[in-house]
Structure 1
Amino acid sequence: MNSPISWSDLALNLGLGVAASVVFFGVIMAVATAVKNHSIIDIGWGPGFAVVALVSFLASAGDGGDDTRRVVVLALTAVWGLRLGFHIGKRNLGHGEDPRYTRLLASRKSGSLVAFLVKQIYGLQAFLLFVVSLPVQFAMYQSAPLGVIGWIGVALWTIGFVFEAVGDWQLARFKADPANEGRIMDRGLWAWTRHPNYFGDACVWVGLFVLALGHWSGIVTVVAPIVMVKLLVSYSGKKLLEKGMRRKRGEAYEHYIATTSGFFPRPPRRRPAPSATADR
């Protein structure tokens, strides 16, 4: 962790990261406004990280970063981000605007629509994209070879990616089967955690943070997995989803909560079956 690092080049890259985040979500905002569907921002969330990773990879060429680390970080970020964007796009396109965004837009009382969108939706997303992508940007300038710590990061990323991708696939397959109408998804990874996709997402970003520990400066990027986990557990992820599921599905979902871990995977607990079931 004592290998040299080009601070001026890293600082320039951070500036480019800010610019890439702003331009990317600016384009998304323009498209979403034109088609009158602001929920497409969800599709852009994952690919946005791939864009920042690519900008950082190109900007760091020849600046002393270990090429293996640079390629691995770019590849892992791009694979995660593009898969997530494809999955959300396949799930959401053709279903109109997400009610969350419709309600948010309805809450605007006056003032510029553009200013409202920047402050309440797109500006916040650009800021979060930049902050969460800090490990990716820092890792590009670290000259130390991956070593044991780096491969631990790759292993954590792999565990997370498998949980997220398999969990999403299992849920999509479950919902596509008419025989599952009126039932809650509690099979496969969903029997071990109520949110295998969120747990996987958290592991992915912890893994990318570990990949940024080839230099002591990478420690500061711990803010990225902290912010991501906070979003997944306390804000737009688990908390919001479960609030709606409890209100909508009642006893069946309460039973699922009582028997299944809320985040970290573990074997399900045994409880009496509920008197009614509901679709997840």
Structure 2
Amino acid sequence: MGLLTPLALLASLDLALQWGLWAAAAALRTEKFFDLAGSGTFILLAHLSLRWGNTQHPRQQIQTTLVTIWGLRLGLFLFLRILTEGHDRRFNGVRENPATFFLYWTMQGIWVFVTLLPTLILNLEKHEKPLGFWDYLGWSMWALGFITEAVADQQKWHYRSNPDNAGRFIQSGLWAYSRHPNYLGEILLWTGLFLSAVSVLRGWQFLSIISPLLVWFLLNYVSGIPLLEKAAMKRWGKEAAFQAYLQKTPVLWPVSWKR
């Protein structure tokens, strides 16, 4: 069976955790620990796969460390944000409906496992190679993505914390070059973690490219950009300044492909 058995066990543990936490969240009618649970599961699965793989190669150690750093930063950031704001508008009309709420928690479990798949395979794979081009390229891309996401999040946090900016939209810092620089960073870092695993992947394992593709698809077409763009248009769509911002600032990539 090779890697399929431990991968199946990790997937089962992932879903079991999400469903158990859903039961608690549904009883309390709260989404406050939803994102923290997701990032915590990333860290748990990464470390379990590293332990089960029982390898001391620096590639696996570094990969797992990078996942941990990302998970701790994003999880704590989102948890503090929801404590400050009191709610997450994604869950309006959802937290009161246990069946729909269950679907959200289940989708989070699937997202965690699929996104982490290159790292899980890497950590469980016994086949080793010396560190090389793909490792350094992948980790460099992760660093660029991580810094982009972290800086963008902090810039928006500080902007919103200033009472003078109440009711206004951010268009400074990284947000002057991309309307969603935090999502750009997210896509880059997970693409980087796939690339850093490439030199070890074999055969069917290359299907784990679904990881960065899923992140890109969800942020572009499902739970990220579409919801925020719709909310922004509803709030500021009639303002000339916002229309100018839309015209001059790309949606995601800080390069306009329009002629």
Deviation at 1:131? 1.1
What does residue 88 of structure 2 align with? 98
**Which protein is bigger by CA-based radius of gyration?**
1
TM, length-normalised to structure 1: 0.83
1:127 to 79, 95, 110: 110
How many residues align structurally? 251
What percentage of residue pairs aligned between the two structures are identical?
30
Question: Which amino acid counterpart does residue 90 of structure 2 have in structure 1?
Answer: R
In structure 2, the gaps of 5 or more residues are none
In structure 1, the gaps of 5 or more residues are 1-6, 270-280
Question: Which amino acid counterpart does residue 112 of structure 2 have in structure 1?
Answer: L
Distance 1:99 1:166 in 2: 23
The answer on 1:59 being equivalent to 2:52 is yes
The answer on 1:89 being equivalent to 2:79 is yes
Where does structure 1 differ by over 4 angstroms across 4 or more consecutive aligned residues?
A: none
User: 1:139·1:211 contact (CA, 8 Å) conserved in 2?
Assistant: no
What does residue 242 of structure 2 align with? 253
1:1-280 residue pairs with structure 2 within 5 A? 8=2, 10-62=3-55, 67-105=57-95, 113=98, 116-118=100-102, 120-140=103-123, 141=125, 142-217=127-202, 218-250=205-237, 251=239, 252-266=241-255
Deviations 1:6-29 (A, max 9, x none): x61x22321222023113213321
SS in 1 for 2:94: helix
Compared CA separation, residues 96 and 170, structure 1 to 2 (3 A): closer
User: 1:139·1:214 contact (CA, 8 Å) conserved in 2?
Assistant: no
Distance 2:196 2:9 in 1: 21
Deviation at 1:94? 5.0
SS in 2 for 1:166: helix
Deviations 1:148-179 (A, max 9, x none): 11110000000000000000011111111122
SS in 2 for 1:212: coil
Deviation at 1:121? 1.4
